[in-house]
């Protein structure tokens, strides 16, 4: 239970960070913005994307962690409840074990015949969203570096 609360708390902190950073991006459209505004806009957008990636990843990370903790924890915990809850009886027939991963996020249920099914298809969108947001943040940081370098070269040529 503590892990779930910790995960929810971390998700909320990251989500608030993303909202604050997104507000910083929107603030760049207001009069009186700091100069050079383009570099600051790119950096603020990168921060918003990074915080959003952290929020989505933490949500999935603690979901996998909660599924791992539920396995073997008291009566009716084997096979993993994540492999049984929300599925019909036929899907859960012949479960032998589970496999979990934190990178990429997944919690797979394995049957005796070797076939595998995911305990939660939501991990797919969490993996893609995290990767996309992290890549976006990296590209924005690189773009901010190029903008700074371009401005410095332009100033050196004029001087």
Residue 127's domain spans which residues? 2-76+122-158
Backbone φ, ψ for residue 44 (5° rounding): -70, -40
- pTM of the predicted structure, to 2 decimals: 0.81
Residue 3 has pLDDT above 70, yes or no: no
Q: How many domains does the chain have?
A: 1
Say how far apart CA 78 and CA 75 lie, in whole Å: 8
- CA 25 → CA 49, 73, 84, 112, distances in Å? 11, 45, 44, 52
DSSP class of residue 77 equals -
Say how far apart CA 127 and CA 139 lie, in whole Å: 18
Say how far apart CA 8 and CA 69 lie, in whole Å: 16
Residue 135 domain-assigned (yes or no) = yes
Residue 47 domain-assigned (yes or no) = yes
Residue 130 domain-assigned (yes or no) = yes
Residue 15 domain-assigned (yes or no) = yes
Residue 90 domain-assigned (yes or no) = no
Residue 34 domain-assigned (yes or no) = yes
User: What is the biggest distance separating any 2 CA atoms in the chain, rounded to whole angstroms?
Assistant: 77
Structure tokens given for 101:
């991963």
pLDDT at 98: 84
Residue 103 domain-assigned (yes or no) = no
pLDDT at 141: 94
Structure tokens given for 158:
């004029």
Share the mean pLDDT of the chain. Answer: 84
Say how far apart CA 135 and CA 126 lie, in whole Å: 14
Say how far apart CA 109 and CA 45 lie, in whole Å: 38
pLDDT at 1: 59
Strand partners, 108: 99, 118
Cβ atoms of 137 and 56 closer than 8 Å: no
Span 42-79, pLDDT tens digits:
888 999 999 999 999 999 998 888 888 877 776 666 67
Residue 91 domain-assigned (yes or no) = no
Span 89-107, pLDDT tens digits:
776 677 878 888 889 998 8
Strand 95-102 with 105-111, pairing: antiparallel
Backbone φ, ψ for residue 109 (5° rounding): -105, 130
């Amino acid at each position: 239970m503590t892990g779930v609360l910790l995960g929810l708390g971390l998700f909320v902190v990251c989500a608030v960070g993303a909202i604050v950073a997104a507000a910083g991006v929107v603030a760049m459209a207001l009069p009186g913005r700091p100069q050079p505004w383009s570099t600051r806009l790119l950096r603020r957008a990168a921060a918003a994307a990074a915080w959003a990636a952290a929020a989505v990843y933490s949500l999935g990370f603690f979901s996998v962690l909660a599924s791992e903790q539920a396995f073997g924890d008291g009566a009716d915990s084997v096979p993993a409840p994540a492999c049984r809850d929300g599925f019909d009886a036929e899907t859960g027939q012949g479960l032998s074990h589970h496999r979990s991963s934190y990178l990429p996020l997944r919690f797979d249920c394995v049957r005796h015949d070797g076939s595998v099914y995911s305990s939660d298809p939501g991990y797919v969108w969490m993996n893609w969203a995290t990767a996309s947001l992290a890549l976006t943040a990296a590209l924005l940081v690189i773009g901010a570096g190029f903008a700074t370098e371009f401005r410095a070269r332009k100033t050196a040529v004029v001087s």
